[in-house]
Structure 1
Amino acid sequence: MDASPSYRYEQLADLITSMIDNGALAPGARVPSVRALSEQHGVSISTALQTYRSLEDRGVLVARPQSGFYVASTQPGTFALPSTSRRSAKASTVSISGAVAALLEHSSNRAFMPFGCAVPDGELLESKRLDLALARAARRHGTRYNVYGPPQGEAILRSEIAKRAMRIGHVLSPDDVVVTSGCTEALMLALTTVTKPGDTIAVEAPTYMGLLHTLEMLGLKAFELPVDPIRGIDIDALAQLLETEQVAACALSSCFNNPLGSMMTEADKRALLAVLARYDVPLIEDDVYGDLHFGRERPKPFIALDGGANTIYCSSFSKSLAPGYRVGWIAAGARTRRVIERKLAFSLCGAVLPQIALGEFLASGAYDAHLRNVRRLFQENLAHMARAIEVSFPPETKMSRPTGGFVLWLELPKPFDSRALFDQAIEQGICFAPGDVFSASRRFRNCLRLSAGHGWNDHIADGVRHLGRLAHKILAS
């Protein structure tokens, strides 16, 4: 090779990619070690590592701690990406509570195939060490923790959350953190702090159904912004909206939009923050999927880019570690006092024992090892599910390609009706999320979301294939 060093890693990456495409390296196969690659091709260790890191960022390879790099279980498939959504013509009054309640009722029924709710299976999370921390705290100090705690949350947990925030460039003090009952309460507190009933909130389209449900309960309207399946929010559309409409706040995913899986680049995030600053519109961000990234580095949330100047940060451990503990948090900067006042009014305080257990678990360093394992499992689950969808669903199906999280968004040709599919699937013991619950204006009826939060096995695979057969029949009719 006589190419420049900056080109060598790209050349090596292309060579390895071609070997995968030609079948010389099969999905799941271990590739040569960094040192072996360096010696085989006469490049430095740093160039060899850069080669593998670039392939990891592209989803071609997967890194396994203390094991090496492996070919990803599947490469990007033949299905096209979902369409970029369109901007709504006007703000919508949200009315989805009935549909969400029905979906949650079916999703919580263990008799149904678990594609409906984006809640990871407890067995997949394997949070035994966390449960042991809970049991230990209860055994040693059960009486001490059987009390009302401080409304802001337990000090040990707030301290550990602040330490983790520092890793991603978010300078946060424990006093800036308010512990909540999951991210749902965090979003409720954020919205009631910066809005009043009748206000309009700018949201993604599609967006998380729980956010829409909260907007409905608070009497808020939603203005839906276009979202690209890879790059996320259309910043120009946001700027045009703020130029012509009165918007009280913008509520967005930090990373891996639920359900589409899109993620804005850091440059685009900064551009969006600049637009919001120009019109003095606060941003409420939901970062529940940030720790579940498949690339080398955790994506930075918006608040790490603007220092919290006009951003309210919401997150939880519900997707990555402990959905049953219902522990989330909010960092609201100068609005913290108002958030605490509302926390006192809504729920007084959170349960003490789960907070202590989580704080001790984080302090032990076990969370990072847990994340490495669960990220690999979710990535593999998505790869298995994507393959099953491609061989089972109509060839016109479009499918998202998330680089984090554990949900897939499918778009079928209109006039396909995911509600009709839902009714038939429920009769067959399969639950999924119809597309219209992800829109304030009840769009995306030809779309659906599938959760890959349970361990992949023959039973799950059969469920995906059966759902695909039902989709074929509905599309044909």
Structure 2
Amino acid sequence: MDTPSQFRYLQLADLVTSTIDNGALAPGERLPSVRTFSEQHSVSVFTALRAYRLLEDRGLLVSRPQSGFYVANRRRHQLSLPSASRQQPKASTVSISGAVAGLLEHASNPALVPLGCTVPDATLLQSKRLDLALARAARKHGDRYNIYCAPQGDLGLRQEIAKRSIRMGHAIAPDDVLVTSGCTEALLLALTTVANRGDTVAVESPTYFGLLHTLEMLGLKVIELPTDPINGVDVEVLSGLLDAQPVAACVLSSSFSNPLGCAMPESHKRALLSLLAQRSVPLIEDDVYGDIYFGRERPKPFISLDGGHNTIYCSSFSKSLAPGYRVGWIVAGRFGQRVLERKLAFSLCSPVLPQVALAEFLASGLYDSHLRRIRHTFHENLARMTRVIEDSFPPATKVSRPAGGFALWLELPRAFDSRVLFDEALDNGICIAPGDVFSASRHFRNCLRLSAASEWSERIERGVRRLGQLAKAQLAR
């Protein structure tokens, strides 16, 4: 099937990027004219120009008036990747609820530059058609949907989710799906199914603070796994930990972990699944960012690699389409009945109207074009933010290179304190996420996470540059 012309420019941009990366195009070398490039690839001049402009935005090309486009010279410095996290000797209790509550309070303040929480900006999601579907369902069938639905959720929505499962390489049936109030409830149901208060679960390090908050409320202990910023958790270290102590479950990102944005290679995923199956340790996977990938294909989640035999799959539409609708889902396999019992006890069922609206939107076929657009937007946001960080933060700063999602993880020298920066940033009208909330043992004080979930603007750029100035000033003291 032919690629739609509006996305052909992305393929051309990838082609030029690869040519630069492999050295065929050297810094300072002139590219073919826009017209020549369009003829070479049988595209319109507009499409060719759009590809060049995209690469200019990414900092790979520079345009010279009356001359054309050239490969950009290498930047003064290319920031290194963050360090792989260290192995923690033992499980620890979690105590971050106060810090998380304070962060979320500030992150919801519209007066602050929104770099703190990974909640997509409504202007980026452009979910008007979804909202119209919700209004239409309420207007036409409000009485029908003002009820309790089955605890599994609306059948229409479960059917649409099941149809989409082919895209991740694992066919599921509508009866396999249970609709939840966001991915947070899905994780809560999964954790209470396989673990009891006082048990230990293994997580990535750093990991999402919302997960740590849930673990704290459930009275679970945490063992933090060394995590590489590209390849994810260290499977060999996990093997040794399982030999040394009982672990009730592993909770890992399917792809694009929060905050690192790393994606485990498929071979590593298979090795991890084999290890957990041998030890009868269930895996709970969080796949909320799976659809926001920057490569050619969606990475396969763990459930598609083991057929769901030892995996509980959790996801939601909160990061890709509708954070305010709070619609997630869980596929629990052999744990399904126990998960259903907990759903009945905790919330009985999820609200019907948002489910019906989402089902209609998915059935319309609009979701995939929506995903292509936001993947491009978030990728661009991250590239722009990285360039500003390179220009304005201390030279020793290290920054992640996410393969998907919309967050950056920054590591600064050991003397740096992101808690101090957090307070100074608030005084300057900026919200960030300090690094210590991403660790049960409150490590990563010299790190921070920045969110690129808002539409890029001068306000966002000024906020990032101001953070760099504050970081430099702190290290100079």
Same fold (TM over 0.5): yes
Q: Which residue of 1 aligns with 2:118?
A: 118
Q: CA deviation at 1:11?
A: 12
Match of 1:92 in 2: 92
Cα distance change, pair 146–30 in 1 and its aligned pair in 2 (3 A): farther
In structure 2, C-alpha distance between the alignment counterparts of 1:129 and 1:167, rounded to whole Å:
23
Who is 1:372 aligned against? 372
Q: 1:16 to 1:25 in 2, by over 3 A?
A: farther
Provide TM-score, normalisation by structure 2: 0.89
Counterpart of 1:287, as a letter, is D
Q: Which residue of structure 1 aligns with residue 356 of structure 2?
A: 356
Structure 1 partner of 2:66: none
SS for the counterpart of 1:292 is: coil
**Letter paired with 1:431:** C
Task: Write out aligned runs for 1:5-16 (5 A).
Answer: 13-14=18-19
SS of equivalent residue, structure 1 residue 93: coil
The match for 1:22 among 28, 31, 34 is 28
* Residue type of the alignment partner of 1:22: G
CA distance in 1, matches of 2:262, 2:364: 32
CA 1:25/1:109 → structure 2, altered by over 3 Å: closer, same or farther?
A: farther
Residue 339 of structure 1 pairs with residue 343 of structure 2 = no
**Helix, strand or coil at the partner of 2:381:** helix
Distance 2:121 2:192 in 1: 31
Match of 2:58 in 1: 73
Q: Distance in 2 between matches of 1:21 and 1:349?
A: 58
Judged with a 3 Å threshold, the aligned counterparts in structure 2 of structure 1 residues 37 and 115 are, in CA distance, closer, same or farther, namely: same
**TM-superposed deviation, 1:38:** 9.0
Structure 2: give runs of 5+ residues left out of the alignment: 1-13, 61-74
Distance 1:244 1:274 in 2: 18
Give the deviation of 1:31 after TM superposition: 9.5
Shift of 1:12: 11
Which SS does the other structure have where 1:290 is aligned?
A: coil
Residue number in structure 2 paired with 1:161 = 161
Q: How far did residue 243 of structure 1 move? A: 1.1
Count of aligned residue pairs for this structure pair: 441
Identity of aligned pairs, percent?
65
| 1:6 corresponding residue in structure 2 | none
CA contact (8 A) 1:199 1:247 kept: yes
For the pair 1:36 / 2:40, whether they are aligned, the reply is: yes
Change (3 A) 1:407 1:144: same
SS for the counterpart of 2:314 is: strand
Residue 24 of structure 1 and its aligned partner are, at CA, apart by: 3.0
1:451 aligns with 2:451: yes
Pairwise mapping of residues 19-418 of structure 1 onto structure 2 (< 5 A)?
Answer: 19=25, 21-22=27-28, 24-25=30-31, 32=37, 36-37=40-41, 71=55, 73-74=58-59, 78-418=78-418
How far apart are 1:427 and its partner, in Å? Answer: 1.1
Distance (Å, rounded) in 2 between the aligned partners of 1:350 and 1:329: 10
2 CA distance for matches of 1:436 and 1:119? 20
> Take 1:235 and 1:177, find their aligned partners in 2: how far apart are those partners?
29
Deviation per residue, 1:257-287 (Å, 9 max, x gap): 1001111011110011011111110000000
CA distance in 1, matches of 2:81, 2:17: 28
Q: Distance in 1 between matches of 2:287 and 2:58?
A: 27
**Which residue of structure 2 aligns with residue 55 of structure 1?**
none
TM-superposed deviation, 1:449: 0.1
In the TM superposition, residue 128 of structure 1 has moved relative to its aligned partner by 1.1
For each residue in 1:377-400, what CA deviation from the matched residue of structure 2 results, as whole angstroms up to 9, or x when unmatched?
000111111111111100000000
* Residues 442 and 11 of structure 1, relative CA distance in 2, 3 Å threshold: closer
Deviations 1:125-170 (A, max 9, x none): 1111111111111111111111111111000110111111122211
Greater shift, 127-136 or 209-218, is seen at 127-136
1:454 maps to a residue whose letter is S
2: CA distance between counterparts of 1:215 and 1:429? 31
Shift of 1:16: 7.7
Inter-partner Cα distance in structure 2 for 1:216 and 1:287: 21
For structure 1, list consecutive stretches of 5 or more residues without a partner in the other structure: 1-8, 40-63
Query: For the Cα contact (< 8 Å) 1:119–1:323, is it kept in 2?
Result: yes
Structure 1 residues 20 and 462: CA distance shift in structure 2, 3 A = farther
Cα-to-partner distance string for 1:281-305 (whole Å, 9 max, x where unaligned): 0000000000000111101100000
Structure 1's 208 and 103: CA in aligned 2 closer, same or farther, altered over 3 A?
same
Is contact 1:30–1:68 with CA below 8 Å preserved after alignment? no
Amino acid at match of 1:243: D
Q: Which residue is 1:47 aligned to?
A: none
- What do residues 203-248 of structure 1 show as CA deviations (whole Å, max 9, x unaligned)? 0000010110000000000000000100111010011111111000
- Aligned mates of 1:10, 1:85 — CA distance in 2: 34
RMSD of Structure 2 on Structure 1 (CA): 2.3
1:416 and 1:446 in contact (8 A); partners too: yes
Is residue 200–residue 221 contact of structure 1 (8 Å, CA) maintained in 2?
yes
**After TM superposition, where is structure 1 displaced by more than 2 Å over at least 4 residues in a row?**
9-26, 29-33, 35-39, 67-72, 74-77
